[in-house]
Amino acid sequence: MADNGYVLLRHREIPDLDSLEVYRKHGGFQALEKAVTRMKPAEVTEVVKASGLRGRGGAGFPTGLKWAFMDNQIWPHYVVANADESEPGTFKDREIMEGNPYQFLEGVAICAYAVQAHLAYVYLRGEFWQIAERLDSHLAAMEAAGLLGERLFGSDYSLRIRTHLGAGAYICGEETAMLESLEGKLGQPRLRPPFPATFGLYGKPTVVNNVETLTNVPRIIEFGADWYRSMGTEKSPGPKIFSLSGCVNKPGNYELPLGTTFRHLIFECGGGVPEGNSVKAIMSAGASSSLIVANDQALDTPMDYESVPNVGGQLGSASVIVIDSSVSIPWLINKTVHFFRHESCGKCTPCREGTFWMGHLTQRILDGTAKPEDVDLLYDVGGQMRGKCLCALGEFSIEAPRSSIERFRSEFDLAPSQPKTAVDQG
Amino acid sequence: MLERKYLAEKYPQEIQNILDKYPAEQRRSAVMPLLYLAQRDKMYINREDLQEIGDILGITLTEVASLVGFYTLYYDQPKGVYHIQVCTDLPCALRGADRFLAELCDRLGIQPGETTPDGLVTIEPVMCLAACDKAPMFQLQSGAGLTYYENQTVENALSLIEQLRKDASGRRVSARERGRDGNG
C-alpha cells in the first residue's frame, strides 16, 4: 500500500526525493518496470481508465479514455507533457517538478509505454528555465540508470524524453497551440477536429497530458484502480492539488481529496482571510473563472468537477483565488481582462477584438470615464464572444466579467469612486 | 553575401545538442532553443542571428523573426544588462505587487518598462509567473539565465540591484566585446 498522506507532493514527507537514488529507495520506477515487463500497453490504459483519473490541467477529461483514442493506424505516436503552467493562480506543477520530479517523469514514461510512443516531450513555459535544466539532469540520470533509452528492463521497448522551453505565451498551454509551438511555429491553436489523438505533433497521434495528471499514474499502476478510487468522489476520484492564493493567510499548494469543501480549504488549510475581512468571492479556476459568490452554500460546496458548476463556477485547474471584502470587483475584472487581452494570440477575430474592447471598457469603468451604458456593453461584448472563439482562451476570458456583472452589479455603478484594493491603496 | 557563421563557430556543441533533441526531419522544432542560445549571447537577438538561425534550419528570416515578435521572452532590441520582471497579475496584485512595482521604480527614478540611466536594469510588469503564493515576486533575466526572487520587499530588491551594479562593470565590458564580435 501507499505511504500514508501524500500521493503527489510526497517530497514534503520524504527529504531529497528529487534524487534518483532516494526516489528508487521509496519504490520509484517499480511501476514503470511492472508496466513494461508484465503488462500489455492496452492493460496499462485499462487500469488508468478504471481508476477514473481525470485530466488535472483544467478540462477534467478522463485520462485513460484519452489514451485509448490514439489512432493505431498512424505511427509514430508521441506524448507531450503540458508543463506550461500559466493560469494566474496556478503554481502546482512547478512544485511537483521541483520536489517530486521523478514521479512525474515516471508517469510520462508509463503513458508513453501505454500508447507505444518512443519519444516524449516535456513542454515547459520559458520562465521555468531552471526547472528545465534540472529535469535535463534528471533525464540524464535516468538514461545512465537504464530507465530511459533502448530496451528498457530487457524488453523491446525504447523511450527518450526531452524538454522543450516555450517563451512566454499563455496560449501555449492550449494543447494544439503547444504542439504548433513545439513544431517551431507561432503558438496559435489549431481548428479541431482533428484532435491530437489523430493529428498531433508533426501530424501524428499524440497524447497531451498535464504534469499533475501524469504524476498520478505511477501510483495508480503500483497500487491499482480500487486504491485510487478510495480517495475523492465517485465521479471525481483521487487527490488534487489546490493552489490557494489571494486574500488568505496561508497561501500555497494543498493536496486534498477531490470533493473537499471550499470552507475547509480556505479556513482550515489557508487560515482564513487577513485582518478579519470576510470572503466576498471565490475564483476556483484562476483568471478563467466565474466569480462565485462566497455564501454559506458555496463555502460548503465540494470542490469536484460536478459540484462547482452548481454554484456558478468551474473547478478548472483548482487554482483557488480568494477575494475578500476589501477588493473592488471592477478593479479585479480590469486585471483579468487585461491578462486575456495581452495573451490573446490574435488568430481568431472574436477573441482578438473581443478581449481588446473588453479591455477598453473595463479601463474606462475603472478610470471613471465610462458612459452609463458601458457596463451593459461590456456584458454584451462577452456574450457576443461566447461560443465563437477558436479555443478556450477567448471563451474563458468572458467568465469573470460576465459573472461579476450578473452577481456584483452594484459595484460597477459605483466603480470610479472605489479604492483599488486594501493592499494597493498605498 | 557570405553566410554568417558566428553562432555556428562559437557554439558548435550547443547547436548540435539542440538539433539532437528533435527528429532529423523536424529541424524546425529547434528554432526556439536556438533563439535562446542567440539571446543569451548578448541579451538580445539581432538580424544576423535571425538569418543564421534560418539558414541552420532551412527556414526564412521572416519565419524566425515572427517568433521573436510573438513570444514575449525574446528581445530584438538591446535593453538593460538585467531585466527585472515583476508579476502584477491578479493573485500577486492582491498581495501588493502593483504597489511594489511602483515603489521600486520610484526609488530608482524610472517608469515601469524603462531602463536605469546606467543601462544596468530594465524593470517591467509581466503576466503570471506561477508563484502566486509568494508575491511580491519577480524574475531576473540575464545572460546567465533566469532566476525567481519571491516574497520580496522593495528594500530586498534595491539591495539586489546594488549587488548587480557592483558585479556588473567587468561583465558589461565583456558583453560589449561579444556584441562587437556578433556584428562582425
Task: Identify whether B122 is part of a domain.
Answer: yes
The two beta strands, A78-83 and A206-210, are parallel
In whole angstroms, give the CA distance from residue A252 to residue A279.
17
Residue A202 clears pLDDT 90, i.e. is over it: yes
Q: Count how many pairs of residues, chain A against chain B, have C-beta atoms within 8 Å.
A: 152
B43 and B107 both lie in a single domain: no
Q: Domain of B115: which CATH number?
A: 3.40.30.10
Q: CB neighbours of A145 closer than 8 A, spacing ≥ 6?
A: A20
Bridge-partner residues for A246, per DSSP? A322
**Whether residues B107 and B66 fall in one domain:** no
A239-324 is a CATH 3.40.50.2300 domain: no
Contact check, Cβ <8 Å, B99/A426 = yes
- For the domain spanning A10-229, the CATH number is 3.40.50.11540
Please give the residue range of the domain that contains residue B19.
6-70
The domain that holds B21 is classified in CATH as: 1.10.10.1590
CB proximity A183 to B under 8 Å: yes
- Cα-flanking dihedrals φ and ψ of residue A179, to 5°? -65, -40
Q: State the sign of the Cα–Cα–Cα–Cα dihedral A30, A84, A118, A56.
A: positive
Number of folded domains that form chain B: 2
* Closest chain B C-alpha to A154 CA, distance in angstroms: 24
- Report the range of poorest mean pLDDT among A111-125, A260-274, B26-40, B162-176: B162-176
pLDDT surpasses 70 at B172: no
For chain A, the helix, strand and coil percentages under 3-state DSSP, each to the nearest 5: 45, 15, 40
pLDDT at A1: 43
A329-417: CATH class: mainly alpha
d(CA A369, CA A324): 26
Say if A275 is an interface residue toward chain B (CB within 8 Å).
no
Nearest chain B CA: its distance from A269 CA (Å): 14
- List, for residues A41-84, the tens digit of each pLDDT value: 999 999 999 999 999 998 899 999 999 999 999 999 999 999 99
Q: Which residue of B has its CA nearest to A180?
A: B29
pLDDT at A2: 46
Kindly state whether residue B40 falls inside one of the protein's structural domains. Answer: yes
Q: What is the pLDDT of residues A229-280, one digit of tens each?
A: 999 999 999 999 999 999 999 999 999 999 999 999 999 999 999 988 999 9
Is any Cβ of chain B less than 8 angstroms from the Cβ of A244? yes
**Is the separation of the CB atoms in A350 and A193 below 8 Å?**
no
Domain ranges for chain A: 10-229, 239-324, 329-417
- Is B89 in contact with A182 (Cβ distance < 8 A)? no
Q: Does B40 touch chain A (CB under 8 A)?
A: no
Cβ separation A91–B146 shorter than 8 A: no
Q: How confident is the model at residue B78 (pLDDT cuts 50, 70, 90)?
A: confident
Q: What digits encode the pLDDT tens for the residues A388-423? A: 999 999 999 999 999 999 999 999 886 554 444 544
Does any CB of chain A come closer than 8 Å to the CB of residue B33? yes
Q: pLDDT value at position B143?
A: 76
Taking the CA of residue B165 and the nearest CA in chain A, the distance in Å comes to: 23
Is B86 in the same domain as B66?
no
Q: Which of residues 85-104 of A touch B (CB under 8 A)?
A: 85-91, 93-94
pLDDT value of residue B171: 62
